[in-house]
């Protein structure tokens, strides 16, 4: 399960689109998304409700505490919303220690209300935790003692009896409505493969629940069975995270292949770089460098898996090597071409792409004083390792090669010893 955050606009869109299918009635949710490309006249034509009442506008950027940070404007008309957005769109703000520009807003009807409720559902390996409070809103943390929580094991039906502890203290006139709402939201949570859903707050409009503020996360590995239900879903980068040109290039490769190609620059001036086969192995290598006290020298996180073809590996390796060898400063650097023991990936075939890239980048590797450490096992690994040893002799670059007889992360310690040794 891979939990990916989605925008509030998409959380509410999914809730609105699928609530009626599961509950038999429609939630009167209205919302519009505003970005740099938005023309407010065209938006008003598409969403005429924007001209018929007062509005709320706030950033839709995967960070919380917007109200406490003065980033929510209430009771505005559309022209005032346009001014509010124009003054803030593209401007850098700092939230939770992260800085970044505001690029996306959500606009909704202004809903006067007296009651604020809190609802949260989180999934884990064994089931779901469901939390509810009749004291929601921006002071929820101060009123956390009033939050009621139950755990619903996987495969167990969410009955009224199980829901009772959450709603027991509600007034009789709203208890049934809110109980049914919680049960339908849970059913929607399961049906759409949400992993996290929070409404803080939701209120009652004409006796019906209405979410005022909502956060959601989806299991993106379930996209293959939900692409029609999810529609045009976006998984934005975390706030403050902007892809570099090289990261964007790899992201583009990843989207076009059935394999997996991941690349994130952690420290452009780092002296230890990785090109690791397998998602689990890639994390283990990065963690090992950190555990040995050299996280600050780790240049990147990189993972290729799912048997990418030679051309895909070649393009991928070119990017990793270019970043690893940029701006040589006379200090030693190390490249870890690591991995566990593959189940079905032909090690020699994937190494062909890496070997071609290393040959192309010979001069850059030498200028960066790069030492390469290889550790791999799996189908055809002996042939792949032999090719790597021969390559080192051909291009005159130190390449130390190990198979499954060596510990998977032993080359991490060797790389650290190399970059820290006296010249």
Strands 55-59 and 127-133: unpaired
What is the C-alpha separation between 319 and 246, in angstroms, rounded? 7
211 phi, psi to nearest 5 deg: -75, 125
Q: Give yes or no: residues 169 and 137 share one domain.
A: yes
Q: Are residues 364 and 416 in the same domain?
A: yes
Same domain, 122 and 212: yes
pLDDT tens across the length of the chain (423 residues): 578 999 999 999 999 999 999 998 889 999 999 999 999 999 999 999 999 999 999 999 988 778 777 889 999 999 999 999 999 998 888 887 788 889 999 999 999 998 999 999 999 999 999 999 999 988 888 889 999 999 999 999 999 999 999 999 999 999 999 999 999 999 999 999 999 999 999 999 988 999 999 999 999 888 889 999 999 998 888 887 778 889 999 989 998 888 889 999 999 999 999 999 988 899 999 999 999 999 999 999 999 988 899 999 999 999 999 999 999 999 999 999 989 887 777 888 889 999 999 999 999 999 999 999 999 998 899 999 999 999 999 999 999 999 999 998 899 999 999 999 976
Same domain for 14 and 36, yes or no, is no
214-250 burial, b if ≥16 CB within 10 A, otherwise e?
bbbbbbbebeeebeeebeebeebeebbeeeeebbebb
**CATH number, domain containing residue 86:** 3.30.1490.20
Handedness of CA 113, 116, 117, 119 (dihedral sign): positive
213 and 73 assigned to the same domain: no
The answer on 260 and 384 residing in a single domain is yes
Maximum Cα–Cα distance for the chain, whole Å? 82
- What is the sign of the dihedral through the CA atoms of 75, 95, 236 and 1? negative
In this structure, what DSSP letter does residue 158 have? -
How many CA atoms within 13 Å lie on the side-chain side of 327?
6
* Residues 96 and 160 reside in one and the same domain: no
Domain span at 253: 245-420
Where does a domain end: 62, 83, 109?
109
Cα torsion at 169, 175, 179, 182 (round to 10°)?
-80
Last-in-domain residue among 48, 77, 109: 109
Domain end, chosen from 203, 230, 257, is at 230
* Distance from C-alpha of 95 to C-alpha of 320, rounded to nearest angstrom: 31
What total of structural domains would you count in the chain? 3
**Regarding beta strands 333-337 and 272-274, do their DSSP bridges make them parallel or antiparallel, or are they unpaired?**
parallel
- Statement to judge: residues 154 and 279 lie in one domain: no
Asked if 218 contacts 229 with a C-beta cutoff of 8 angstroms, the reply is: no
Among residues 140, 90, 93, the alpha carbon closest in space to that of 120 is found at: 140
d(Cα 367, Cα 388) in Å, to the nearest integer? 20
């Amino acid at each position: 399960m891979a939990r990916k955050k989605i925008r509030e606009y998409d959380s509410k869109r999914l809730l609105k689109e699928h609530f009626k299918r599961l509950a038999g009635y429609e939630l009167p949710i209205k919302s519009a998304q505003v970005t740099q490309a938005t023309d407010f006249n065209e938006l008003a034509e598409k969403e005429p409700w924007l001209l018929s009442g007062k509005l709320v506008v706030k950033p839709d950027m995967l960070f919380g505490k917007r109200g406490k940070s003065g980033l929510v404007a209430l009771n505005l008309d559309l022209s005032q919303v346009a001014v509010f957005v124009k003054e803030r769109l593209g401007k850098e703000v700092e939230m939770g220690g992260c800085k970044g520009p505001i690029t996306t807003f959500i606009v909704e009807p202004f809903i006067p209300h007296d009651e604020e409720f809190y609802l949260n559902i989180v999934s884990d390996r064994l089931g779901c935790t469901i939390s509810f409070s009749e004291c929601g809103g921006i002071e929820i943390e101060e009123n956390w003692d009033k939050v009621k929580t139950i755990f619903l094991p996987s495969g167990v039906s969410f009955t009224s009896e199980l829901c009772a502890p959450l709603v027991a203290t509600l007034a009789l006139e709203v208890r049934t409505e809110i109980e049914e709402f919680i049960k339908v939201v849970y059913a929607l949570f399961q049906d759409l493969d949400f992993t996290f859903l929070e409404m803080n707050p939701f209120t009652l409009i004409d006796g019906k629940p209405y979410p005022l503020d909502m956060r959601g996360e989806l299991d993106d590995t379930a996209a293959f069975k939900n692409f029609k239900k999810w529609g045009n879903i976006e998984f934005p980068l975390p706030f403050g995270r902007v892809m570099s040109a090289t990261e964007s290039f790899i992201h583009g490769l990843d989207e076009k292949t059935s394999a997996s190609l991941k690349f994130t620059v952690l420290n452009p001036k780092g002296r230890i770089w990785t090109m690791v086969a397998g998602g689990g192995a890639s994390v283990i290598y990065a963690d090992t460098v950190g555990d040995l006290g050299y996280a600050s020298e780790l240049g990147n996180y990189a993972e290729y898996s799912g048997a990418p073809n030679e051309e895909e590996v070649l393009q991928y390796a070119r990017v990793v090597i270019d970043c690893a060898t940029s701006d040589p400063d006379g200090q030693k650097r190390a490249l870890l071409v690591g991995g566990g023991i593959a189940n079905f990936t032909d090690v020699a075939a994937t190494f062909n792409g890496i070997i071609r890239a290393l040959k192309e980048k010979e001069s850059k590797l030498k200028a960066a004083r790069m030492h390469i450490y290889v550790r791999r096992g799996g189908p055809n690994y002996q042939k792949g390792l032999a090719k790597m040893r021969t390559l080192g002799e051909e291009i005159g670059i130190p390449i130390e090669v190990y198979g499954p007889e060596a510990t998977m992360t032993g080359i991490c310690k060797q790389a650290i010893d190399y970059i820290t040794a006296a010249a």
